[in-house]
Amino acid sequence: MISGHQDFYPALLEAPDSIHLLLEITTAFVVKWLAAQEAVDGPFKRIAIADYNDNKKEGIGMKKKAGKELNRRTFIKTSGAIGLGLAASSFGVPTLLRAAPTKIKIGSIQPVTGPLAVIGQGQRKANIMAARQINAAGGIKSMGGAQLELLLGDSESKPEVGRQEADRLIKDGAVVLQGPFQSGTAMAIATLAEQRQVPFVMDVAALDAITQKGYQYSFRVFITAKGLVGGAIKYLKQVTEMKGVMPKTAVVTNTADPFGKGMSGGFLKGLEKSGFPIKIIDRIQYPLGIQDLSTEVAKIKSLKPDLIFPVSRPGDSVILTRELYKQRVPLMGIFCPGSPGWYEPHVVKDLDKLILYVLVNVPWVNPNSTVYQKANAAFYKAYNQILDTNSAYAYTGTLVIADAIERAGSARADDIVAALKKTNFKDHPVVGGPVQFNEKGDNIGAMTALIQVQKDPDYLKRVKIVMPKEFAQSDEIVFPAPPLWER
């Protein structure tokens, strides 16, 4: 006896996955055993299944009251097809116990505190909203309506904490990990996911090195840093050619975290390789979370560049722009090759006129997509916030995970990984083609758009796509930009 009925029924509620696996194993054994018996003794006329009664032991089929008679063929068809589920219903297993949907735990690790808290909180909200919508639509139908349960972790904007949180969520039962915005944190979690053999879907994280280690359990929905660099140089060429203006000099600034260093370094190499005729006269780096950039801006002013190429975050982008205004640094414009800090609604509202005409190469939402329009409306209703590019990618990440589990029909790691490798997910809210993963786990459908902050009475409508044409919301590109103090 593996389990008595007093333990078995509660276990159907408490550990349905384990019980289903047990039923599959025992059913397969019974079917094979009956086939072996038939080969020796011939066809069965009757099967007696022992049933325990508190007062006396009887065999099902021995008395009409205790059960019903069935032949071997019916037994095998019933029990083998669905792991004894229907057979159990024939013999009185309570309907509630049989119908309870499985919960599939997904570990969401985002930087909801620390210098990246604004972004991380938006991404967590998007993960939660996507899971709720999937559950409301019937859950994972291939698993009988299994519901997604998000286990929440906070990286505190620190890679080592992100890894610890991921480990905790795995121990709490997470079968898939999601997140985490920061590339350094993504690298730490990817290493852990490989060790634990748990699928890891990066909704946002761009550093190329994450997927260049031969990992089998990591998949990136977001674009790579290399893809960002390619988009930045392409749009920079198109804008300068269109406007007939060629900047001669530029300064690169970046946060000194893995993404800041990797993205700015990659941009510098890509720019040099492209042959674009602009001279980089300095690269200025500073710590993530810095509170004062007066010294760095004074240096920029002394260098007299035409452009600034910043790789930043929402905090330092605001500090940088205000200091450029305060010290009256003359520029043709700010062209961000690919980073946050220049399009978030609270940043646009806070900087107001000072952030007008900034150009940003970035993976962006598709405003023409019905999926985006519905998701954005739901997000605004739930949180009084628009679904920006980071939260839209977080939302997409959860949809991709659910799609993979749906196709796998299983919550087992290897089944989910196999399904992720075959992903061709089109119903998402961001610019780009279908989400499809290459052999490294990178999304070959990811691409960038060029956005510009333009005048509009509603600050939520100031960020507009200007390139490529098929996604453009504005035909106008302002470049060169008027001085910060003359807007």
Residues 313-341: tens digit of each pLDDT:
999 999 999 999 999 999 999 999 999 99
Query: 48 — phi, psi (to 5°)?
Result: -105, 125
157-172 per-position pLDDT tens digit: 999 999 999 999 999 9
Pairing of strands 449-453, 176-179: unpaired
Both structure tokens of 218: 């990591």
Question: Distance of CA 168 to CAs 14, 153, 201, Å?
Answer: 20, 8, 17
pLDDT score for 92: 41
**In whole angstroms, what is the distance from residue 385 CA to residue 380 CA?**
5
Per CATH, the number for 103-223+367-421 is 3.40.50.2300
287-302 per-position pLDDT tens digit: 999 999 999 999 999 9
Task: Examine the pLDDT at 82 and tell me if it is beyond 90.
Answer: no
Give the residue, 263 or 99, on which the prediction is more confident.
263
For 105-132, what is the mean pLDDT? 96
For 435-456, what is the mean pLDDT? 97
> Confidence band (pLDDT; 50, 70, 90) for 43?
low
CA 221 to chain centre: 6
**In whole angstroms, what is the distance from residue 319 CA to residue 310 CA?**
12
Query: 222 — phi, psi (to 5°)?
Result: -70, 170
pLDDT score for 211: 97
> Confidence band (pLDDT; 50, 70, 90) for 7?
low
Residue environment code for 174-194, b if the CB has 16+ CB neighbours within 10 A, otherwise e: bbbbbbbbbbbbbbbbbbbbb
pLDDT score for 39: 64
pLDDT score for 102: 82
Give the residue, 240 or 41, on which the prediction is more confident.
240
pLDDT score for 209: 94
CB atoms within 10 A of CB 215: 16
Peptide bond into 337 cis (omega under 30): no
Lowest mean pLDDT among 39-43, 212-216, 282-286, 393-397: 39-43
Task: Examine the pLDDT at 64 and tell me if it is beyond 60.
Answer: no
Task: Examine the pLDDT at 369 and tell me if it is beyond 90.
Answer: yes
Pairing of strands 449-453, 463-467: antiparallel
Domain boundaries, the chain: 5-99, 103-223+367-421, 226-362+454-486
pLDDT mean across residues, the chain: 87
> Confidence band (pLDDT; 50, 70, 90) for 97?
very low
Task: Examine the pLDDT at 389 and tell me if it is beyond 90.
Answer: yes
Question: Which residue, 230, 233, 251, is CA-closest to 332?
Answer: 251
For 429-457, what is the mean pLDDT? 97
| Percent with pLDDT over 90 in the chain | 77
pTM: 0.74
> Confidence band (pLDDT; 50, 70, 90) for 49?
low
Question: Dihedral sign, CA of 380, 383, 388, 390?
Answer: negative
Residue 326 half-sphere exposure toward CB, CA atoms < 13 A: 14
Task: Examine the pLDDT at 98 and tell me if it is beyond 50.
Answer: no
Task: Examine the pLDDT at 61 and tell me if it is beyond 50.
Answer: no
Asked if 449 and 424 touch (Cβ cutoff 8 Å), the reply is: no
Whether 103-223+367-421 and 226-362+454-486 share one fold: the answer is yes
- Is CATH 3.40.50.720 the classification given to domain 226-362+454-486? no
| Percent with pLDDT over 70 in the chain | 80
Which neighbouring-strand residues pair with 150?
106
pLDDT score for 86: 38
> Confidence band (pLDDT; 50, 70, 90) for 48?
low
Give the residue, 32 or 415, on which the prediction is more confident.
415
8-36 per-position pLDDT tens digit: 656 665 666 666 666 766 776 676 666 66
Question: Distance of CA 63 to CAs 212, 298, 300, Å?
Answer: 66, 95, 93
Task: Examine the pLDDT at 2 and tell me if it is beyond 80.
Answer: no
Map the chain to HEC letters: CCCCHHHHHHHHHHCHHHHHHHHHHHHHHHHHHHHHHHHHHCCCCCCCEEECCCCCCEEECCECCCCCCCCHHHHHHHHHHHCCHHHHHHCCCCHHHHHCCCEEEEEEEECCCCCCHHHHHHHHHHHHHHHHHHHHCCCEHHHCCEEEEEEEEECCCCHHHHHHHHHHHHHCCCCEEEECCCHHHHHHHHHHHHHHCCCEEECCCCCHHHHCCCCCCEEECCCCHHHHHHHHHHHHHHHHHHHCCCCCEEEEEEECCHHHHHHHHHHHHHHHHHCCCCEEEEEEEECCCCCCCHHHHHHHHHHCCCEEEEECCHHHHHHHHHHHHHCCCCCCEEEECCCCCCCCHHHHHHHHHHHCCCEEEECCECCCCHHHHHHHHHHHHHHCCCCCHHHHHHHHHHHHHHHHHHHHCCCCHHHHHHHHHCCCECCCCECECCECECCCCEECCECCEEEEECCCCCHHHCEEEEECHHHCCCCCCCCCCCCHHHC
Question: Which residue, 447, 446, 450, 445, is CA-closest to 472?
Answer: 450
> Confidence band (pLDDT; 50, 70, 90) for 56?
very low
Pairing of strands 103-110, 176-179: parallel
